[in-house]
Structure 1
Amino acid sequence: MARRRTYTVAMVSDYFFPQPGGVESHIYQLSSKLIDRGHKVIIITHAYDDRKGVRYLTNGVKVYHVPFFVIYRQTTFPTVFSFFPVFRNICIRERIEIVHGHGSLSSLCHEAILHARTMGLRTVFTDHSLFGFADAASILTNKLLKFILSDVDHSICVSHTCKENTVLRASLDPLMVSVIPNAIVAESFRPRNYRSSPRAGANGFQPDPPARPLAPHEMITIVVISRLFYNKGTDLLTAAIPRILEEHPNTRFLIAGSGPNAIDLEQMIETNVLQDRVQMLGPIRHEEVRDVMTRGHIYLHPSLTEAFGTVIVEAASCGLYVVCTQVGGIPEVLPSHMTTFAKPEEDDVVAATGKAITAMRAGQVRTEKFHDQVKKMYSWSNVALRTERVYDGITGTISEEDFYGFDIGGYNGSRIRDFTLIDRLKRYYGCGIWAGKLFCLCVAIDYLFFLFLEWWFPRENIDVCPDWPRKPSADEGSSSVDGDAKRASSRA
C-alpha cells in the first residue's frame, strides 16, 4: 500500500484567536486535525494587542502574528505589496507547499494567495460568508474576490448555498469549488445532564434519564450568543424580545456577545423595564459558551445572513432546541426535528419562538438525544480528511478523474493551474475591460517585486525552521487536542 503524502501548509487569515468566532475556531481545529494526520501546519495572522511574533498553541500549532495595522472588525489595512517580504520569508523558513486562505474580507488572505501564486505555491481558498450583489460594498468585495480566485487552485465553501453564492460572485467553474462544512468538538459541548460515570462508555460520559416536560409555571430560558451587529439580526432581536416576553410570562432571555448594536438592546431593556427578565452577559470567551448554553432551553438565532452557523450546531449539541431564521446555508445545518425556522421578519420570529416554547412545555421535543446525533453528523477529523483530499487533487497526488469523480478530458482540459506568468495574466485579463488590465498590472508588479526580493535577500540566507517533534504515527485516531481547543485562545 502506497504511503500517504503529507504537506506543509500555511493557513492565512486576519481572523484568529484570541478573537472568538466561527472562522477562528475553524482554522484552529482544522490545523490541529491536519497535524494529527502528519501534516505540518502554521498559521499567519495579524498581531492582537501585545500578541506579536511567533506563538505556539496546543498540539504544536505555530502562529505568526504579523504587526499590521487593523482598520475594521479585526481586518488589516490592504497594502497589496508590503506583506510580500514578510510572507516570503515565512514561506521559505517553513518550507511551505500550500497556502490556504480563509475569509472573503481578510486582506492578509487575499494578499497571501496572490504572493503564493507568484512564488509558485499551490493555493486554496475557503469562503465562510455570503454577500449580495447590489450595494457598493458587495460590488467591490466581489470584484476583489474575482481577482484573487481567478488564479486560485481550488476553493472550499462551508455550505451548498455558500458555494452557489461564491460561484456567482467570482464567476467560477463549479467544478473548482468543493463543499466541506464546519464542525464542532462535541465533547466540549455536552448537555447539562451529562455527568462523569465509571459505568459510562468510551467517551467517559453517561446521559441521565430523559427530562420531564416543563410545567406551565416553570421558567424557560432563551439563549442568544452572537456578535451584536446588524447582519446578525440584532435589530430583529431587539424588536422581538418585548413581544415574546409579553406573550409568554414565564420566559427570560440570556444574551452574550458584544458589538455596536448592544446599545440598542440596553435601551430596549430600560424602556420596557425588563432588567429582571433579560440578562446581558457581554463578551464571553469560547470556553464559556457551553456553560452559558446549558443554562437555557431554547437557542434563538435571528441572523439576516449566514453561510453555515456553527453556533446553532453547538447549541443543539448542548441539548437546546434551536429557533433560527431560514436564510443562507442555515437550513442545511441541522435536521428538522432540532429546529424551528422563521422568516427574517419580526412577526415570524415571535411566532416561531412561541411555537418552540409551547413544544418544550408539552414535551414534544426530546432534546436529550441531540448531543449524540450531532456528534455523529459533524467531526473535525472528517473535515480534515476531506480537506486533505483537496490538497491531493491540486498537487496531482491523485488523478483529476479520482478528484472530480469523472473523466474531465473533454471538459475544458486540465484543472491544475499553471504557474507561468503569461498563463496567469491571461486568467486575470478576463476579469473585466478595465479591471482585467489593472489586475494584470498588479500581478506583473508583484512578479518583478518577487525577482527583486530573490536578488536582494537570497533564500539561501534564510534559515530553515526545525519542525515541531511529532510521534511516528501519522493517523492518531482521537487526539486530546479537541479537549484542549477551548484553551487555545488563552494559551501562548
Structure 2
Amino acid sequence: MPYNIAMVSDFFSLNQPLLIWIQGGIESHIYQLSSKLIDRGHKVIIITHAYKDRTGVRYLTNGLKIYHVPFFVIYRETTFPTVFSFFPIFRNIVIREQIEIVHGHASLSSFCGEAILHARTMGLRTVFTDHSLFGFADAASILTNKLLKFTLSDVDHAICVSHTCKENTVLRASLDPLMVSVIPNAVVAENFRPLSNDSRAADQGAMSPIDQRPQPAPIGPDDTITIVVISRLFYNKGTDLLIAAIPRILALNPNTRFIIAGSGPKAIDLEQMLERNVLQDKVEMLGSVRHEEVRDVMVRGHIYLHPSLTEAFGTVIVEAASCGLYVVCTRVGGIPEVLPQHMTTFAKPEEDDLVVATSKAIAALRSNKVRTDRFHDQVKMMYSWRDVAERTERVYKGITGDISPEEFYGYYPGQGWEVSGDRVRSFALIDRLKRYYGCGVWAGKLFCFCVVIDFLIYVFLEMWFPRANIDIARSWPRKPPADKSHSSNGGRRDQ
C-alpha cells in the first residue's frame, strides 16, 4: 500500500553553490530515494531548514515538495538543537500532509533527531538512515554518540549504507542488530558516462557535434596520465595525506598530472605545497564544483584518487568507476565493500603505501591490463536507485505491519526462532520511558525528562491548536505503483 513519508534532514541544499560534499552526499541520497519512492506510488515530502533566500514551500520535479523551515544554523549547515521549539511547526506540517512515516537522515542533523522524537510522541512510525562513521574516544564523538543513543532509543528501524557503518551504528547506539538494515547508496549511471559512451551516443545522433569526442585510445608509455581528486579538503578526507603524497607521486611518474576539485580549510595548505614544490603546471585546482559538473571533471582523468581517513560508503568512487576511471583508495570504513577488486587498488591510510598504490595503478594502466571501458556497464548493473527504493519500501512495510515480523526479520516457523516484542515499538508513554531510562545513569533520567516535556507540549498543542483548524494540503496526483516484480542486480548486498 502507498505511504505518506516525510524525509527530514538539515542537509538538503539543492541548487545552492555549496561544496561538493553537500551536493553529492546526503542530499543526493534523499533526492534520488524520494523520487523513486514517488515513482512507486508513495507521497514524499522533505523537511529541512532555510538556505539563504530559499524559505517556505518549494516544488521539485515529480511533485516532490520541500518545506524550508527558518531556523538558526550554527555550523556546516547544522541547525541549533533546541529539542522542543521545532515541534509546533513540525506537527503542523505532519498534519497538513497526513504523514505516516518520518524518515530522518544523518547523525549530526538536529532536525533529524528532533523530528524522530516528535514523530514518536505523535504516534508515527520512524526510520533513521546513518551516512557516517564516528569514533568512541574523542569528546566530540562521545557527545555525538550519546545524542544518537537518545535519537535511536525509540526508533522503529535504522538503515546504514554499508556493513561497516552498521557495525559502527549498532555499537554507538546499543541497537539490536536485527533492527538495522544495510541498504547501500547508488548512482544514476546515465549521468556518469565515460567519454567512449558519449562517442557512441554521438554516432547515433543523440548528442550535438560540440559534445562529440573520439574513442579513447590505449595509453602509451609516454602518454600523460591524469589523476582526479574530488573531495572536501578536510582532515578526515585525507587532505594532509594527499598533500604529502602528490610531490612523491609526480617525482616517480613524470608523465602524470593532477586535477583537484573541492574546497575547505585545507585548501590553503594544498596551495602552499604547490608553491613550495613549484608544481602549478602539474596540478590543476578547480575549487568547489557543483554535482552536475562532477562527471565533466572526472572524464578528464584516468585514475581517481580517494585518500579518505574515514568513510561509511563513498558514493564518489562509484561515480568515478562509472565514468571509466581506475580507483585508488584507502582501505578504511565501508570503502572495501563498494567496488570489486578489479576496479580498485587499495592502500593503507599512510603516505608511503598511498604512493606505492598509485604508482601500481599508473603502471597497470600503461600496460593496458585494466579494462576500464567495461566499468560503466558493470556499475550500472551493480547499483540502482530503484533497487534502493524497493528495499527501503520493504523496511516501511516491516515497521507498519504490512509484512509479518517473521518475514521482515528473517525468522520462519519451525526453526526455533521467536520474534521479540521489543522490536515492535509501542507508542505508550510508559514503554517509551523504559527504553530511554536505560541510556545511562544520568543521561537516562535526562532523556526521560525530555520525553515527558515533549508529551506535555503535544497535549497542549492538541488542546489549544486542534487538528480541525489545520488545513489538509492537496496532494500531488499519485503515480500508479511501479512494476514490483522488477528487481535490479543492485541487491547483491543483504539487507
Alignment partner of 1:237 out of 229, 242, 249: 242
Deviation of 1:474 after TM superposition, in Å, equals 1.5
- 2:176 and 2:196 map into 1 onto residues whose CA distance is 47
- 2:83 and 2:251 map into 1 onto residues whose CA distance is 53
1:208–1:286 CA distance, 2 compared to 1 (3 A): closer
Deviation of 1:413 after TM superposition, in Å, equals 3.0
Deviation of 1:17 after TM superposition, in Å, equals 2.7
Deviation of 1:384 after TM superposition, in Å, equals 0.1
Equivalent in the alignment of 1:481: none
- 2:74 and 2:302 map into 1 onto residues whose CA distance is 38
Alignment partner of 1:271 out of 269, 276, 287: 276
Equivalent in the alignment of 1:68: 71
Contact 1:256 1:281 in 2 (8 A): yes
Equivalent in the alignment of 2:336: 331
Equivalent in the alignment of 1:445: 453
Equivalent in the alignment of 1:158: 161
Unaligned runs of 5+ in 1: 478-492
Q: Does 1:221 align with 2:229?
A: no
- 1:232 and 1:145 map into 2 onto residues whose CA distance is 23
One-letter amino acid matched to 1:229: F
Contact 1:127 1:155 in 2 (8 A): yes
Alignment partner of 1:53 out of 51, 56, 59: 56
Q: Which stretch shifts more, 406-415 or 35-44? A: 406-415
Per-residue deviation, residues 342-378 of structure 1 (Å, max 9, x unmatched)? 0000111111001001111110111000000000000
Contact 1:298 1:320 in 2 (8 A): yes
Deviation of 1:469 after TM superposition, in Å, equals 2.1
Equivalent in the alignment of 1:375: 380
Equivalent in the alignment of 2:10: 14
Unaligned runs of 5+ in 2: 15-21, 207-211, 485-495
Q: Which stretch shifts more, 207-216 or 332-341? A: 207-216
Equivalent in the alignment of 2:42: 39
Contact 2:406 2:419 in 1 (8 A): no
Q: Does 1:391 align with 2:396?
A: yes
Structure 1 residue matching 2:74: 3-state secondary structure: strand
Equivalent in the alignment of 2:316: 311
Deviation of 1:210 after TM superposition, in Å, equals 7.8
Deviation of 1:39 after TM superposition, in Å, equals 0.2
Deviation of 1:412 after TM superposition, in Å, equals 3.1
Deviation of 1:216 after TM superposition, in Å, equals 2.1
Contact 1:429 1:437 in 2 (8 A): yes
One-letter amino acid matched to 1:9: I
Contact 1:36 1:476 in 2 (8 A): no
Deviation of 1:405 after TM superposition, in Å, equals 1.4
One-letter amino acid matched to 2:88: P
One-letter amino acid matched to 1:306: E
Work out the number of aligned pairs and report it.
469
Contact 2:411 2:419 in 1 (8 A): no
1:104–1:435 CA distance, 2 compared to 1 (3 A): same
- 1:249 and 1:242 map into 2 onto residues whose CA distance is 11
Deviation of 1:414 after TM superposition, in Å, equals 5.3
Structure 2 residue matching 1:109: 3-state secondary structure: helix
Structure 1 residue matching 2:286: 3-state secondary structure: strand
Q: Which stretch shifts more, 212-221 or 272-281? A: 212-221
Equivalent in the alignment of 1:427: 435
Equivalent in the alignment of 2:474: 466
One-letter amino acid matched to 2:482: D
Equivalent in the alignment of 1:125: 128
Contact 2:42 2:478 in 1 (8 A): no
- 1:9 and 1:197 map into 2 onto residues whose CA distance is 38
Deviation of 1:201 after TM superposition, in Å, equals 13
